[in-house]
A and B are shown apart, each in its own frame.
Chain A
């Protein structure tokens, strides 16, 4: 069986996760009409496959929730299949679970339709759908199938022998020596045929597995070139979801392009530059796209080191991606931070304590992680709450929106397998959320002017909450950005997460 063959592919590809790295689950906090919901969608490993849905309602009185998958844009966004009902927990009437099939790769939304005491409501949850890996065959199943396969093969050979030896004999007639010889000869020929079929089948299986592996998600490539203080980033297509044959062009509705990027909360690219291995320097920057498709920016003053670059982009259909590359950067004396730039330099995670929940900022302000008493656990939908205070401990009176939101957060696993850029709405791309809500992503420029989009916060408070769940146990560093006045603060926190 193919147990060994797929283990390598599994290890290589299981870390990939579209908009984020190693963090495929989708978390969203939003309103379905009058009901405040915290939604978790766990996309399947393979496509087509079954996504698991969990919904916690913070509003009572919900009678039913139904879920349906739809494309966010284009073909497939017009007609919906029959919705699947979610099941209310017997212990907790405000907790619902269910599942639905994600049949193709693409930019999808799970549309939740809620009915309850306060009337109906809907909430669209953008879910990028793509295959992340193939699954290996367990030893037990492999053994059972091997035994059955051998039995079928032996049975086929035996039937060919018996058919030649005895099938034409009259009732009661014993096979002659010639019949027995013919039977043996047929058995040998039958065995050769069955072996040939088995080898042919194995070849076919390999070919199907290779075809499938081509459908496993591969993010856009990114090459970084540093010239003085000028950084340029060039994207490359590794050959995922292309339409390079007549057949694919006709049937592949979702095709990845490189020239269809849309702004996500005001910027075409959000670039996190994080120093390795200590994760002790972080820069949140926004390169501009040139006409030739490359991205460019003048780096601010930076400390020397090996940096990992995480570049978040969103395609016009709402499909988000994170491109990753690494680069050595010498100590740079350059421009100061400007506009939506944000940065922090602190001690490496190896020297930091996971018990520390207060981060003192360079200007004396403090950011506090309101962690609560509940221990952190992987795969658990959690609200990560942070509060900004002035040096005297009081709430700032000039809280401002940072790119249209109360804050931004990046969850980075110290072993490099996880990077997730999270917003107060959750892990979804804001551009995808706006597309799914029927808004144009370009409308996000309005965020800076305090427009009244449903995806915008209603109040500018000193506390921000990020719905998210650690994808796996281990040590994480959390970078949180909040804005007061014209200052963007970056707080740094460390977390140790246990298993589920």
Chain B
């Protein structure tokens, strides 16, 4: 319900902005508005309102989905994706609103705006990783899919933040935000008592269970920042291509052995949190047994797959750069 309340809040807040800009006399944003369906408002307000409506539409859709196919205990289902798209739209709308405000502002430094942009980019990365959670839990970190999906989406936000803020360590900041947020969940959630309210209960649980330890994005993000500092004069596609390979190489180099560590009893402590198991995790599951999901690829196929991941990373960085540059020119 709290999630849908966010949709309602977004709908009310940005809906008010649209109505006020459209109908109020001498609205300060009237001249800096775009026109959609006869209404006028800053671009971000429309995007965020769309997100609010999408979130609220997903509620009856999801409810019916549960009735028709049972409660979906997975994240990636059609109604959940509509909900997540709505959440993304609210965040992106806010980012667009902020970028427009920054670009129209007479101030030269825009320190507050840039920091807020880093914060919103970090929030987006956290949200992207929620959708990717089912492919990036520790048992999947010796599977190709984890490296493909982490190359395809997270670099978008890093490149966007870099291009939009111009900060030298923008990617590192965004990745650090994600890391600290997820670390915070591991450190804080288990402090609160909780009991399962649904069966089957395969694991005895007495407190909240946090998600897995954050992926080590900080390392490849730092690599990207260093790369971008040294390739300012390169062609955008060349930067993106190099970024894709740097991202995958560094991430693979650190995450693969780190995942092996996460499977050891040493990591089952309050900091790495691999001893925390969701109450409905079957004892036969890979997570409960601390066993990697078996890869069906040969070493050669895996290597070719990593090259594909690098190409996906290239497209992600190029797309993020383009969106960041577009936002940098946005006025409305």
A contacts, CB < 8 Å to B: 2, 6, 44-49, 68-71, 75-76, 78-82, 101, 103-104, 106, 108, 131, 134-137, 141, 144-145, 148-149, 151-152, 155-156, 158-159, 162-163, 165-172, 201, 204-205, 208-209, 212, 246-247, 249-253
User: Contacts A46-B69, A162-B43, A209-B69; is A82 near B196 (CB within 8 Å)?
Assistant: yes
Residues of A near B282 (CB, < 8 A) are 75, 250-253
Q: Are B200 and A166 in contact (CB under 8 A)?
A: no
**Complex interface: stretch among B52-60, B144-152, B165-173, B268-276:** B52-60
Most buried by A among B78, B100, B203: B78
Residues of B near A104 (CB, < 8 A) are 200
Q: A75-B283, A81-B198, A155-B53 are known contacts; what are 20 more A-B pairs with Cβ within 8 Å?
A: A6-B68, A75-B284, A81-B201, A81-B279, A101-B199, A134-B68, A135-B64, A141-B64, A152-B53, A152-B57, A159-B47, A162-B46, A168-B326, A169-B332, A171-B332, A172-B31, A201-B78, A209-B69, A212-B69, A246-B293
Q: Are A131 and B70 in contact (CB under 8 A)?
A: yes
Residues of B near A79 (CB, < 8 A) are 196, 201-204, 279
CB < 8 Å: which of B35, B57, B195, B284 contacts A149? B57
Q: How far is the CA of A44 from the CA of B68 in the complex (A)?
A: 11
* Contact residues of B between 52 and 91, Cβ < 8 Å to A: 53-54, 57, 60-61, 64, 66-71, 73, 77-78
Q: Are A167 and B43 in contact (CB under 8 A)?
A: yes
Q: How far is the CA of A201 from the CA of B204 in the complex (A)?
A: 38
Residues of A near B73 (CB, < 8 A) are 48, 103
Q: Are B332 and A141 in contact (CB under 8 A)?
A: no
A contacts with B: majority SS: mixed
Residues of A near B326 (CB, < 8 A) are 168
Q: How far is the CA of A205 from the CA of B197 in the complex (A)?
A: 29
CB-nearest residue of chain B to A202? B78
Q: Are B104 and A171 in contact (CB under 8 A)?
A: yes
Q: Are B202 and A76 in contact (CB under 8 A)?
A: yes
A17 to chain B, nearest CB (A): 17
CB < 8 Å: which of B60, B67, B286, B294 contacts A145? B60
Q: Are A167 and B196 in contact (CB under 8 A)?
A: no
Most buried by A among B34, B54, B199, B331: B199
Q: Are B71 and A81 in contact (CB under 8 A)?
A: no
B contacts, CB < 8 Å to A: 31-32, 34-37, 43, 46-47, 50, 53-54, 57, 60-61, 64, 66-71, 73, 77-78, 100, 104, 195-204, 279-280, 282-286, 293-294, 326, 329-332
Q: Are B57 and A249 in contact (CB under 8 A)?
A: no
Residues of B near A158 (CB, < 8 A) are 36-37
B29 to chain A, nearest CB (A): 9
Closest 7 CB pairs of A and B: A76-B200, A79-B201, A48-B71, A46-B70, A171-B31, A162-B34, A172-B31
CB < 8 Å: which of B37, B68, B198, B204 contacts A46? B68
User: Contacts A163-B43, A169-B332; is A212 near B70 (CB within 8 Å)?
Assistant: yes
Q: How far is the CA of A64 from the CA of B54 in the complex (A)?
A: 43
Residues of B near A159 (CB, < 8 A) are 36, 43, 46-47, 50
Q: Are A169 and B68 in contact (CB under 8 A)?
A: no
A302 to chain B, nearest CB (A): 43
Residues of B near A136 (CB, < 8 A) are 68
5 example contacts (A-B, Cβ-Cβ < 8 A) are as follows A48-B70, A68-B199, A101-B198, A162-B36, A167-B100
Residues of A near B279 (CB, < 8 A) are 79, 81
CB-nearest residue of chain A to B194? A82
CB-nearest residue of chain A to B286? A250
Q: Are B280 and A171 in contact (CB under 8 A)?
A: no
Residues of A near B61 (CB, < 8 A) are 145
Residues of B near A144 (CB, < 8 A) are 60
B26 to chain A, nearest CB (A): 13
Q: How far is the CA of A81 from the CA of B206 in the complex (A)?
A: 11
A146 to chain B, nearest CB (A): 11
Q: Are A103 and B199 in contact (CB under 8 A)?
A: yes
Q: Are B294 and A246 in contact (CB under 8 A)?
A: yes
B115 to chain A, nearest CB (A): 23
A11 to chain B, nearest CB (A): 15
A279 to chain B, nearest CB (A): 35
User: Contacts A104-B200, A148-B57; is A251 near B285 (CB within 8 Å)?
Assistant: yes
CB < 8 Å: which of B54, B67, B78 contacts A208? B78
B143 to chain A, nearest CB (A): 11
Q: How far is the CA of A32 from the CA of B200 in the complex (A)?
A: 23
Q: Are A155 and B280 in contact (CB under 8 A)?
A: no
Residues of A near B330 (CB, < 8 A) are 167-168
Q: Are B331 and A71 in contact (CB under 8 A)?
A: no
Q: Are A253 and B284 in contact (CB under 8 A)?
A: yes
Most buried by A among B54, B68, B283, B284: B68
CB < 8 Å: which of B53, B60, B104, B199 contacts A80? B199
Q: Are A141 and B60 in contact (CB under 8 A)?
A: yes
Q: Are B284 and A249 in contact (CB under 8 A)?
A: yes
A127 to chain B, nearest CB (A): 11
Q: Are B70 and A69 in contact (CB under 8 A)?
A: no
Q: Are B78 and A205 in contact (CB under 8 A)?
A: yes
Residues of A near B69 (CB, < 8 A) are 46, 134, 208-209, 212
Q: Are A82 and B195 in contact (CB under 8 A)?
A: yes
A316 to chain B, nearest CB (A): 17
Residues of A near B54 (CB, < 8 A) are 152
Q: How far is the CA of A151 from the CA of B95 in the complex (A)?
A: 23
User: Contacts A80-B201, A145-B61; is A47 near B70 (CB within 8 Å)?
Assistant: yes
Residues of B near A253 (CB, < 8 A) are 200, 202, 282, 284
CB < 8 Å: which of B77, B199, B283, B332 contacts A167? B332
Q: Are A171 and B331 in contact (CB under 8 A)?
A: yes
Q: How far is the CA of A45 from the CA of B69 in the complex (A)?
A: 9
B325 to chain A, nearest CB (A): 11
Residues of A near B202 (CB, < 8 A) are 75-76, 79, 253
CB < 8 Å: which of B68, B100, B199, B285 contacts A70? B199
CB-nearest residue of chain B to A209? B69
CB-nearest residue of chain A to B204? A79
Q: How far is the CA of A78 from the CA of B282 in the complex (A)?
A: 12
Residues of A near B201 (CB, < 8 A) are 76, 78-81
Q: How far is the CA of A253 from the CA of B283 in the complex (A)?
A: 9
Q: How far is the CA of A71 from the CA of B68 in the complex (A)?
A: 24
Q: Are A250 and B284 in contact (CB under 8 A)?
A: yes
Q: How far is the CA of A159 from the CA of B53 in the complex (A)?
A: 14
B110 to chain A, nearest CB (A): 17
Q: Are A46 and B67 in contact (CB under 8 A)?
A: yes
Most buried by B among A131, A145, A149, A166: A166
CB-nearest residue of chain B to A211? B69
Q: Are B199 and A69 in contact (CB under 8 A)?
A: yes
CB < 8 Å: which of A108, A131, A251 contacts B284? A251
Residues of A near B199 (CB, < 8 A) are 68-71, 76, 80-81, 101, 103, 108
A333 to chain B, nearest CB (A): 52
Q: How far is the CA of A253 from the CA of B280 in the complex (A)?
A: 11
Q: Are B34 and A163 in contact (CB under 8 A)?
A: yes
CB-nearest residue of chain A to B44? A167
CB < 8 Å: which of B46, B50, B57, B200 contacts A71? B200
Residues of B near A168 (CB, < 8 A) are 326, 329-332
